[in-house]
Structure 1
Amino acid sequence: MDLLSNTVALSRIQFALTAIFHMLWPVLTTGMGIYLVIIEGLWLKTRNLDYYHHARFWSKLYVLNFGIGVASGLPMAFQFGLNWAPFSEAVGDFFGTVLGFEGTMAFMLEASFLGIMLFGWERVPPVIHLISTILVAFGANLSTFWILSANSWLQTPAGGAFVNGKFVVQDYFGAIANPFMINSFLHMFFATLETSLFVIGGISAWYILNQRHPEFFSKSLKVILTALILVAPLQIFVGHLSAEQVYHYQPTKLAAMEAQWETIPAGQPADWSLVALPNNRAEQNDWEVKIPGALSYLLELKPALEQPVKGLKEWQPENRPQMVGLIYYSFRIMVAIGLFFAALMTVSVLQWWRGKLAAKAIAQQKWLMLAWIWSAPLGYLAVETGWIVRCVGRQPWIVYGQLRTVNSASNLPPGEVLFSLIGLTSLYLVLFTAALYFGSRIVRKGPNLELPAPVFGNQPKLGIEPAQHEPDQRPAEAQQ
Structure 2
Amino acid sequence: MPVNFSAIDLARFQFAFTVSFHIIFPALSIGLASFLAVLEGAWLKTKNPIYKDMFMFWSKVFAVGFGMGVVSGVVMSYQFGTNWGGFSNYAGPVTGPLLAYEVLTAFFLEAGFLGVMLFGWHRVGPKAHFGATLMVAIGTLISTFWILASNSWMQTPQGYAIVGGKIVPQDWFKIVFNPSFPYRLGHMAMAAFIAGAFVVAATGAWHLLKGRRDPAIRKSLSMALWILLILTPIQAFVGDAHGLNTRKYQPAKIAAIEGIWDTEQGAALNLFGIPDMDAEITKYRISVPHLGSLILTHEWNGEIRGLKSFPKADRPNSTLIFWTFRVMAGLGMLMILMSLVGLALRKGGKLYESRWFQRWVLFMGPAGFVALLAGWITTEAGRQPWVVYGVMRTVDAASPNSAQAVGISLMIFMIVYFLVFGTGIYYILKLIRTGPAFPETPDERKSHQWGDDGHGDPAQTARRPLSGSSESIESH
> Is 2:149 the counterpart of 1:152?
no
The amino acid across from 1:417 in the alignment is V
> Is the CA contact (8 Å cut-off) linking 1:109 and 1:139 kept in structure 2?
yes
**CA displacement 1:119-141 (0-9 Å, x = unmatched):** 11122101111111111111111
User: Within 2, Cα distance between the matches of 1:38 and 1:162?
Assistant: 46
Secondary structure at 2:304 match in 1? coil
> Is 2:212 the counterpart of 1:218?
no
User: Within 2, Cα distance between the matches of 1:414 and 1:180?
Assistant: 34
Compute the RMSD of aligned alpha carbons.
1.8
> Is 2:323 the counterpart of 1:329?
yes
User: Within 2, Cα distance between the matches of 1:2 and 1:395?
Assistant: 25
**CA displacement 1:146-196 (0-9 Å, x = unmatched):** 111100000100111223431111101110000010110000010000111
User: Within 1, Cα distance between the matches of 2:392 and 2:458?
Assistant: 60
Larger-gyration structure (1/2): 1
In structure 2, which of residues 301, 309, 318 is the aligned counterpart of residue 314 of structure 1? Answer: 309
Identity of aligned residues (%): 38
Match of 2:290 in 1: 293
User: Within 1, Cα distance between the matches of 2:433 and 2:109?
Assistant: 31
> Is 2:53 the counterpart of 1:53?
yes
In structure 2, which of residues 403, 407, 416 is the aligned counterpart of residue 427 of structure 1? Answer: 416
> Is the CA contact (8 Å cut-off) linking 1:296 and 1:302 kept in structure 2?
yes
Deviation at 1:416, TM superposition (A): 1.3
> Is the CA contact (8 Å cut-off) linking 1:121 and 1:454 kept in structure 2?
no
> Is the CA contact (8 Å cut-off) linking 2:152 and 2:178 kept in structure 1?
yes
The amino acid across from 1:195 in the alignment is A
> Is the CA contact (8 Å cut-off) linking 2:293 and 2:304 kept in structure 1?
no
Secondary structure at 2:294 match in 1? helix
Q: Per the alignment, do residues 128 and 182 of structure 1 end up closer, same or farther by CA in structure 2, a change over 3 Å counting?
A: same
**CA displacement 1:448-478 (0-9 Å, x = unmatched):** 32342657xxxxx9899xxxxxxxxxxxxxx
> Is the CA contact (8 Å cut-off) linking 1:207 and 1:214 kept in structure 2?
no
> Is 2:336 the counterpart of 1:342?
yes
In structure 1, which of residues 356, 368, 372 is the aligned counterpart of residue 357 of structure 2? Answer: 368
Match of 2:251 in 1: 251
Secondary structure at 1:42 match in 2? helix
Match of 2:104 in 1: 104
Match of 2:384 in 1: 395
> Is the CA contact (8 Å cut-off) linking 2:269 and 2:291 kept in structure 1?
yes
Deviation at 1:444, TM superposition (A): 3.0
Match of 1:413 in 2: 402
> Is the CA contact (8 Å cut-off) linking 1:394 and 1:400 kept in structure 2?
yes
Deviation at 1:94, TM superposition (A): 0.9
User: Within 2, Cα distance between the matches of 1:113 and 1:11?
Assistant: 36
**CA displacement 1:246-294 (0-9 Å, x = unmatched):** 1111011001000111111xxx311111110111111111210000110
User: Within 1, Cα distance between the matches of 2:287 and 2:310?
Assistant: 24
User: Within 1, Cα distance between the matches of 2:111 and 2:267?
Assistant: 49
The amino acid across from 2:407 in the alignment is L
The amino acid across from 2:334 in the alignment is F
Match of 2:207 in 1: 207
Deviation at 1:446, TM superposition (A): 2.7
User: Within 1, Cα distance between the matches of 2:122 and 2:343?
Assistant: 37
The amino acid across from 2:413 in the alignment is L
User: Within 2, Cα distance between the matches of 1:163 and 1:256?
Assistant: 33
Match of 2:86 in 1: 86
The amino acid across from 1:344 in the alignment is M
The amino acid across from 1:140 in the alignment is T
User: Within 1, Cα distance between the matches of 2:217 and 2:276?
Assistant: 48
User: Within 1, Cα distance between the matches of 2:355 and 2:97?
Assistant: 51
The amino acid across from 2:258 in the alignment is E
> Is the CA contact (8 Å cut-off) linking 1:4 and 1:414 kept in structure 2?
no
> Is the CA contact (8 Å cut-off) linking 2:150 and 2:176 kept in structure 1?
yes
User: Within 2, Cα distance between the matches of 1:448 and 1:195?
Assistant: 23
Deviation at 1:412, TM superposition (A): 1.0
Secondary structure at 1:393 match in 2? helix
The amino acid across from 1:341 in the alignment is M
Q: Per the alignment, do residues 63 and 337 of structure 1 end up closer, same or farther by CA in structure 2, a change over 3 Å counting?
A: same
> Is the CA contact (8 Å cut-off) linking 2:157 and 2:175 kept in structure 1?
yes
Secondary structure at 2:72 match in 1? helix
Match of 1:302 in 2: 299
Match of 1:163 in 2: 163
User: Within 2, Cα distance between the matches of 1:191 and 1:440?
Assistant: 21
Which TM-score applies when normalising by structure 1? 0.90
> Is the CA contact (8 Å cut-off) linking 1:4 and 1:10 kept in structure 2?
no
User: Within 1, Cα distance between the matches of 2:371 and 2:199?
Assistant: 13
Match of 1:95 in 2: 95
Match of 2:346 in 1: 352
- Runs of 4+ off more than 6 Å: 461-464
The amino acid across from 1:436 in the alignment is I
> Is the CA contact (8 Å cut-off) linking 2:263 and 2:306 kept in structure 1?
yes
Deviation at 1:443, TM superposition (A): 2.3
In structure 1, which of residues 382, 387, 394 is the aligned counterpart of residue 371 of structure 2? Answer: 382
Number of paired residues?
A: 448
The amino acid across from 1:296 in the alignment is S
Match of 1:269 in 2: 266
Deviation at 1:215, TM superposition (A): 3.0
Q: Is there any run of 5+ residues in structure 1 with no aligned partner, and where?
A: 456-460, 465-480
Match of 1:22 in 2: 22
Q: Is there any run of 5+ residues in structure 2 with no aligned partner, and where?
A: 440-444, 451-455, 460-476
